[in-house]
């Protein structure tokens, strides 16, 4: 997930247009998505990502992502939606139940509220951050203020001025 240098995934007004990936970074996201077995999404991220299930893209990198994204098993956690489109399905169980039902697979979590709840419950083993060189001064934090997680650095990479940090939870 992309975040500002001061730790926010969206600014005070909710925007994250500063996080649009370069072509090189988009290709890296494609590689990561291709090895993901299931994606957990909150409602807002589901609505943001629906374009990848429903539209056609002429840009080759974007078309490749859509091709990877469409068949991916996606589980949407929402208290307001009654139906979802594409290869998405609404969660019917708790976070723990849905994750247990997926078994030993590579699961990605997206959406600030859902990810924060997973962090609080200790359900995330690895964190992949893409730090964008911008300070937005507030908004939605990547890490919720009420969690303490010890991390071990696994990998770093740069994509232009964006820094990729891959951490594993300790203990």
Q: What is the pLDDT of residue 14?
A: 86
Q: What is the pLDDT of residue 86?
A: 85
pLDDT in tens, the chain (171 residues): 899 999 999 999 988 888 889 999 999 999 999 999 999 999 999 999 999 999 999 999 999 999 999 999 999 999 999 999 988 999 999 999 999 999 999 999 998 899 999 999 999 999 999 999 999 999 999 999 999 999 999 999 999 999 999 999 997
Instruction: Report the domain count for the chain.
Output: 1
Domain encompassing residue 82 = 2-169
Q: How far apart (Å, rounded) are the C-alpha atoms in residues 155 and 28? A: 14
- Residue 1: DSSP 8-state: -
Burial of 92 (0-12, 13-18, 19+ CB in 10 A): exposed
Read off the pTM.
0.90
Establish how many alpha carbons lie within 13 A of residue 69's alpha carbon, considering only the half-sphere containing its beta carbon: 24
Q: How far apart (Å, rounded) are the C-alpha atoms in residues 124 and 141? A: 17
Distances (CA, A) of 44 to 4, 58, 111: 19, 25, 7
Which CATH number does the domain housing residue 83 bear? 3.40.430.10
């Amino acid at each position: 997930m992309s975040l500002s240098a001061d730790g926010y995934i969206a600014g005070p007004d909710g925007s994250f247009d500063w996080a649009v990936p370069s072509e090189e970074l988009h290709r890296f996201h494609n590689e990561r998505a291709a090895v993901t077995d299931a994606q957990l999404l909150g409602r807002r991220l589901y609505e943001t990502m629906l374009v990848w299930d429903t539209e056609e893209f002429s840009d080759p990198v974007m078309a490749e992502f859509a091709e990877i994204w469409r068949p991916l098993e996606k589980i949407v956690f929402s208290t307001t939606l009654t139906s979802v489109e594409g290869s998405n399905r609404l969660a019917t169980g708790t976070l723990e139940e849905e994750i247990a039902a997926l078994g030993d697979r590579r699961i990605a979590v997206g959406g600030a509220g859902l990810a924060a709840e997973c962090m609080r419950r200790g359900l995330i083993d690895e964190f992949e951050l893409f730090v964008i060189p911008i300070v937005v001064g507030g908004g939605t934090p990547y890490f919720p203020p009420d969690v303490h997680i010890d991390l071990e650095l696994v990998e770093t990479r740069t994509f232009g001025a964006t820094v990729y940090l891959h951490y594993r939870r300790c203990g």
